[in-house]
Chain A
Amino acid sequence: MRPFRYERADEVSAAVTTLVREPEAAYLAGGTNLVDLMRLEVMTPEVLIDVRRLTSDRIEELPDGGLRIGAAVTGSDLAADLRVRRRYPVLSQALLSGASGQLRNLATTGGNLLQRTRCPYFQNVTTPCNKRAPGSGCSALEGYQRDMAILGASPACVATHPSDMAVALAALDAVVTVAGPDAERRIPLTELHRLPDTTPERDTVLERGELITGVELPPPHGAARSRYRKVRDRASYAFALVSVAVALEVADGSVRDVRIALGGVAHKPWRAATAEAVLRGAPATRESFMDAAAAELSAARPLPGNAFKVPLARNTMVSTLLELLEEAR
C-alpha cells in the first residue's frame, strides 16, 4: 500500500473543500472496498478523508411516507430495520444476499453505491484495463467473460456493477442526495451510475468532491409485493451472475404496476423499462412475463463467455414475477 495522509473532517463542507483542493484525495467510509483496492494499488490516494462520522447513520421517516437513509447507515442496520423489512422487503433481501455479516457491519450505504467493479482485470494492475488505466485496452474482450455485461457495454469496457443494494434501489425509484462544492443536488438512483461508452474510468455522474449524504425512498407503491432473487456460482457470499429486483402489483388478473431492475448484467443497475412497459396493463400470466423478459433482452449483446446470462436473466425475471403473482393470490 502506498503511504497516505489520514484526515477526519468536522463538517461536510470542509470535506468537500479538501477533496476539491487535493487532486489525489479520496473519501473513506467503511473501507471494505477502498482499503482492498489500495492494498492492490488499483487506487493510490495520497489523502484519505474519513467521512464515516460526517453523514447520518440514521434511517428517518419522510413526511410523504418514505424513508431517508443516511449515507453512513451500515448494510446490516439497513437490512435489519423493521420499516425496511416490512415496506421494502426487496431492499432488505438485496442487502442480505450481498457480502457477509462481517462486511455488512462495516460497509455503508454511500460506500455501497460507490464500490468499484470486481472485474478481475480492473483489480489486477498487471493487465490492461480501460477503467483503471484509460487507453490501455480491455482484457476481458479476449479473456475471462463469465462475470461481464450483456447490456449497455461498449468496446472500451464490459465490466458489471457489483452492488445488490443498488439494484433494489433502482427498482424502488430511490433518489440519492449529494453535497457538492456549489450546492446540494438530488440524483435519481437510476441516473447515478453511467454506462461505460468511451470513458469507463467514470463509474458515476458525480463531480469531483461531491459526497453522497443519503438515499431517499419514496413511499411503497400501492399494494406492490417486492422480492430480490440472486443467482450466483455458490450458494452464498459471491457476486451475482444475474440478479432481479421486482415489485409487482396485480389487480383483476392484470398487471397494474411493475418495477424491475437487473444486476450482474450491466455497468450500472439496469432498470428494465422495456419489460415494464410491456407488462403494464397486460394479463398477469407466464406468457406476458416471457414476452416482457424477451423484449428487455432483445438489446442484449453477450460475449462468447457469458451468452448463458441471456436465458438466465430471462428465466430469473419470469420465475420471480411468477412467485410474486402466486403470493398475491
Chain B
Amino acid sequence: MDLEIELRVDGTEHRLTVDTRTTLLDALRERLGNTSPKKGCDHGQCGACTLLLGGRRILGCLALAVAHQGADIVTSAGLADGELHPLQRSFIAHDAFQCGYCTPGQIVSAAGMLREAREGWPSAVSKDPGAVDVVLDDEEIAERMSGNLCRCAAYANIVPAIAEVAHR
C-alpha cells in the first residue's frame, strides 16, 4: 500500500509517496538522498539512525514514515547551519570517532540530550529524582548517551567532546 506524505527535513519541505513499510530512516536515505543518518542494526539497538523529530531525539529505523505525516525532522547534516554545529566542532577537536559511522547519530543524540538536560529531565543515575537542575558530569553523559553504540569504542573521547559543549 502506498500513501502520500509530507516531511520537513533539515528545513526543506518534501512531498513523497511511500510504501507503508518505509521507515523514516529509509525515506530519508533512499528517497530523499539524505544519507546523514546511518543504518546500523535496523533494530533499534545501536542509535546510528538517531534523528530529531519535533526537537526530540528518536530512532529513524523504528518509526514508520506514514505514522509521522507532517513531521519536522533534523539530521546531523541539518545541524550544520552554514558552519559546523558546536557539537560537530567539538567531536573533531576531541577526535571523538574512529571510523565515523556512528558519529552523525552520536551528534544528533547529543543535541537532543543537551536539550533534555536543559529541561531538567532526570536520568537513571540522577541522585535526586525530584531535582530540576541537571549537572552533566561524565557519568550522566555516559548514561544519557547509552543508546548510541560506538564499536570503535571512542567513548573515552565522545564523553569529553559532549562535556565541553554541555559546560559552555
Chain A residues with CB under 8 Å of chain B are 1, 3-6, 28, 31-32, 35-36, 39-40, 48, 50, 52, 76, 79-80, 82, 85-86, 89, 92-93, 96-97, 99-103, 105-106, 235-237
Q: Are A85 and B147 in contact (CB under 8 A)?
A: no
* Chain B positions within 8 Å of A76 at CB level: 56, 116, 121
Task: Determine the distance from Cα of A31 to Cα of B68 in the docked complex, in whole angstroms.
Answer: 11
- For residue B123, CB closer than 8 A to chain A, the reply is yes
Q: Are A3 and B109 in contact (CB under 8 A)?
A: no
Known contacts A4-B20, A6-B64: A82-B130 contact under CB 8 Å: yes
Most chain A Cβ neighbours within 10 Å, of B1, B43, B50, B116: B1
Chain A nearest CB, measured from B127 CB (Å): 11
* Chain A positions within 8 Å of B145 at CB level: 101
- For residue B129, CB closer than 8 A to chain A, the reply is yes
* Chain B positions within 8 Å of A96 at CB level: 122-124, 126
Known contacts A31-B67, A92-B122, A236-B142: A36-B147 contact under CB 8 Å: no
- For residue B63, CB closer than 8 A to chain A, the reply is yes
Chain A nearest CB, measured from B116 CB (Å): 7
A-B pairs with beta carbons under 8 A, tally: 110
- For residue B104, CB closer than 8 A to chain A, the reply is no
Chain A nearest CB, measured from B101 CB (Å): 17
Chain A nearest CB, measured from B134 CB (Å): 11
Q: Which 10 A-B pairs give the minimum distances between C-beta atoms?
A: A100-B147, A236-B146, A237-B146, A96-B124, A80-B121, A89-B129, A6-B20, A85-B129, A105-B56, A86-B130
Known contacts A4-B20, A80-B120: A52-B67 contact under CB 8 Å: yes
Cβ-defined partner of A101 (8 Å) among B44, B57, B132, B142 = B57
Known contacts A5-B1, A106-B63: A101-B113 contact under CB 8 Å: yes
Chain B residue with Cβ nearest A38? B21
Query: What are some 19 contacts across the A-B interface (CB < 8 A)?
Result: A28-B64, A35-B64, A36-B44, A76-B116, A79-B122, A82-B130, A85-B122, A86-B130, A89-B130, A96-B123, A100-B147, A101-B112, A101-B113, A102-B112, A103-B59, A105-B56, A105-B112, A106-B62, A235-B143
- For residue B66, CB closer than 8 A to chain A, the reply is yes
Residue tally, chain B, CB below 8 Å to A: 42
Chain B residue with Cβ nearest A90? B129
Q: Are A4 and B56 in contact (CB under 8 A)?
A: no
Q: Are B1 and A101 in contact (CB under 8 A)?
A: no
Q: Are A93 and B58 in contact (CB under 8 A)?
A: no
Apart from A39-B43, A102-B109, A105-B56, what are 6 other A-B pairs with CB-CB below 8 Å? A4-B1, A28-B67, A31-B62, A80-B120, A82-B130, A236-B142
Known contacts A5-B1, A236-B143: A102-B50 contact under CB 8 Å: yes
* Chain A positions within 8 Å of B130 at CB level: 82, 85-86, 89
Cβ-defined partner of B64 (8 Å) among A31, A105, A235 = A31
* Chain A positions within 8 Å of B123 at CB level: 96
* Chain A positions within 8 Å of B57 at CB level: 101-102, 105
Q: Are A105 and B142 in contact (CB under 8 A)?
A: no
- 1/0 per residue B22-51: CB within 8 Å of A? 010000000000000000001110010010
Task: Determine the distance from Cα of A106 to Cα of B63 in the docked complex, in whole angstroms.
Answer: 8
- For residue B3, CB closer than 8 A to chain A, the reply is yes
Task: Determine the distance from Cα of A101 to Cα of B47 in the docked complex, in whole angstroms.
Answer: 10
Residues 87-129 of B at the A interface (beta carbon under 8 Å): 109, 112-113, 116, 119-124, 126, 129
Task: Determine the distance from Cα of A103 to Cα of B109 in the docked complex, in whole angstroms.
Answer: 11
Task: Determine the distance from Cα of A97 to Cα of B143 in the docked complex, in whole angstroms.
Answer: 9
- 1/0 per residue B131-162: CB within 8 Å of A? 01000000000111111100000000000000
Chain B nearest CB, measured from A118 CB (Å): 11
Known contacts A101-B109, A236-B143: A82-B62 contact under CB 8 Å: no
Chain B nearest CB, measured from A37 CB (Å): 10
Chain B residue with Cβ nearest A228? B124
Chain A nearest CB, measured from B155 CB (Å): 12
Q: Are A92 and B129 in contact (CB under 8 A)?
A: yes
Chain A nearest CB, measured from B137 CB (Å): 15
Task: Determine the distance from Cα of A52 to Cα of B112 in the docked complex, in whole angstroms.
Answer: 22
Task: Determine the distance from Cα of A52 to Cα of B53 in the docked complex, in whole angstroms.
Answer: 15
